[in-house]
Amino acid sequence: MNWLLAPLQFTFMQTGLLAALLVGVTCAVLGVYVVLRRMAFIGDALAHTALPGVVVAYLYGWNLFVGALVAGLLTALGIGWISRRATVREDTAIGVLFTAMFALGILMLSGMRSFRDFTHILFGNILGVTRADLLLISAMCALVLLVLALFHKELELTSFDPLHAQVMGLNPDLVRYGLLALLALMVVTGLKVAGVVLTSALLVTPAAAAALLTNRLPRMMAIAALLAACSASVGLYASYYFSVAAGSAIVLTCALLFGTAWLYRSLWQAGAAR
């Protein structure tokens, strides 16, 4: 038990673990919708589009979180607007906007002639999470989970039968904008924990693994949250004991759990076919 408790004597490990658990679990629950709506690409896209927001915020001395959030929300709304009524497919809209926004960020960075200040934004620094960061992360995660709980039936219905929603007067585009906004919020919240680049993995991988293990939505969310919590804990301990990057260790643990779930599902299907 000592090996389990020893890292927690350090404050930075306590706050880091709490932050990783909060972000991991919230991303996993939100990620179930991302996976079921086949929007896996969106997390990656929103993460990349945070870059110009961060750069602009840095240039003008604003809060980097706010800059990233504004850029993420603008991208989310842009994706929803361009792909509304299926005139342009959503994956196409994502592809166009995410590369354009990332290019804009690089362009602005190259003008500054310095990439050094933004590495922690891009790749995360979980052990640098402060108490103030933890408060912000807690508030954002609570907000996202609350919105998901309040609008669960609308999110669920528009995910599998948007036509029925529309006949009832429930605008599926409005729900999609809301979901995209939550995604932008969560990706930006994951900045400190896994970095913008790896947060997308927290959105997709636990949910994708859970989808292999059950065909019930509430159970899928619970399993995804559990897998994310395991990944966060194992990743952080691995980072402590083996001196590796925490964000990467968390995401790789997620991937390992996904592989295990995939193997289990494959074996189960092979057994059922016999």
Binding-site string for another protein from residue 93 to residue 132, where x marks contact by CB under 8 A and - marks none: ----------------------------------------
Tokens of 35: 């996976």
Stretch near another protein under the rule CB under 8 A, chosen from 42-50, 83-91, 94-102, 108-116: 83-91
Stretch near another protein under the rule CB under 8 A, chosen from 104-112, 119-127, 149-157, 189-197: 149-157
The C-alpha atoms of residue 237 and residue 228 are separated, in whole angstroms, by 14
154 contributes a contact to another protein by CB under 8 A: yes
The C-alpha atoms of residue 131 and residue 137 are separated, in whole angstroms, by 10
220, 222, 206: which is closest to 260 by C-alpha?
206
Return all residues near 57 (Cβ < 8 A) that are at least 6 apart. Answer: 63, 64, 66, 67, 68
Q: How far is the CB of 202 from another protein (least distance, A)?
A: 20
Tokens of 63: 């809060």
20, 109, 116, 13: which is closest to 59 by C-alpha?
109
Query: What are the Cα distances from residue 159, in Å, to 13, 37, 46, 140, 151?
Result: 38, 6, 20, 23, 12
Q: How far is the CB of 28 from another protein (least distance, A)?
A: 15
Among 217, 224, 228, 236, indicate the residue that binds another protein (CB under 8 A).
217
Among 15, 26, 125, 159, indicate the residue that binds another protein (CB under 8 A).
159
Q: How far is the CB of 236 from another protein (least distance, A)?
A: 30
Among 1, 4, 86, 273, indicate the residue that binds another protein (CB under 8 A).
86
- The residues that touch another protein, with contacts defined as CB under 8 A, are 36, 85-87, 150-151, 153-154, 156-157, 159-161, 163-171, 174, 211, 214-217, 220
